[in-house]
Structure 1
Amino acid sequence: MKKVEIFDPAMCCSTGVCGPSVDPELTRVASAVYSLSQKGYEIERYNLANDPGAFADNQMINQLLHEKGPDVLPITLFEGEVVKEGTYPSTEEFSAWFNLSKEELKQKPKKRLSISLNQL
């Protein structure tokens, strides 16, 4: 299965809704990551403030941080290879990596609820 990993800079949250103003780019990425993970795709996000071990354990990420400094973040890996530095993946890139249309990516996951009226 295809795998995407996003290594975020240090921040208080990955959604973009904390702080004095909303960051629409972080909100877009958080929504895409949530949608993909709910659909069963392998996608992970690591925040430097909360997951420093993920940064230290990955030799490529560690090397890029030492060579280029923290401005290289965010870094995106696709199948273990660096595909983006300094910016987040676009909706088109997420779609291409997981063979989805942009519309499928934006669709909310559907969950089936089973309700029995006899139990009410």
Structure 2
Amino acid sequence: MTRIDVFDPPLCCSSGVCGPSVDPLLAAFAADVQWLGQQGVDVVRHNLAQVPQDFVGTEVVRELLSLEGEACLPVVLVDGQVLQRGAYPRRDALAQAAGLQPAASTTKPRLKLSAVANGCTPGSGCC
């Protein structure tokens, strides 16, 4: 089974799809990750703000951060090999890396927007 690890930059929540101004690329990527899971692909997201030890403990990510700083994020690994860095891959690239045929999403990503001006805060309900 294919394993995909996504090393996200610091995000306010695990998917980054929260707060007052949601990046549409993050919303699309979240939908792609959900689709991969439905296809049986093991996808694990690592958020620098929440689990920095995962970044230090993964040699290739640690080396990229040492050389390029946070500009290399996100880093997407497929079975330990770099698929893409610096931007989220599109569904077709993810599907190909996982040995799948890409398919259009059958649902729209669910977004929960917060009215808080500065993004997510504890208890705001956005995460």
Q: Does TM-score exceed 0.5, indicating one fold?
A: yes
TM-score interval, smaller chain = 0.7 to 0.9
Aligned to 2:51: 51
For residues 16 and 80 of structure 2, what CA distance do their matches in structure 1 show?
26
Aligned to 2:105: 106
Superposed, 1:1-120 pairs within 5 Å as: 1-103=1-103, 106-107=105-106
Distance change >3 Å, CA 58–CA 17, structure 1 → 2: closer
- Name the TM-score, length of structure 2 as normaliser: 0.75
Q: Tell me by how many angstroms 1:98 deviates.
A: 2.4
Higher relative contact order (CA 8 A, sep 6+): 2
CA distances 1:47-85 after superposition (whole Å, capped 9, x unpaired):
000111110110111111011111110001111111211
For residues 17 and 75 of structure 1, what CA distance do their matches in structure 2 show?
18
Q: Tell me by how many angstroms 1:14 deviates.
A: 4.2
Ranges in structure 1 where 5+ consecutive residues have no aligned partner: 109-120
For residues 16 and 59 of structure 1, what CA distance do their matches in structure 2 show?
24
Paired residue total: 107
Q: Which runs of 4+ in 1 moved over 6 A?
A: none
For residues 17 and 77 of structure 1, what CA distance do their matches in structure 2 show?
21
- Name the TM-score, length of structure 1 as normaliser: 0.79
Larger radius of gyration: 1
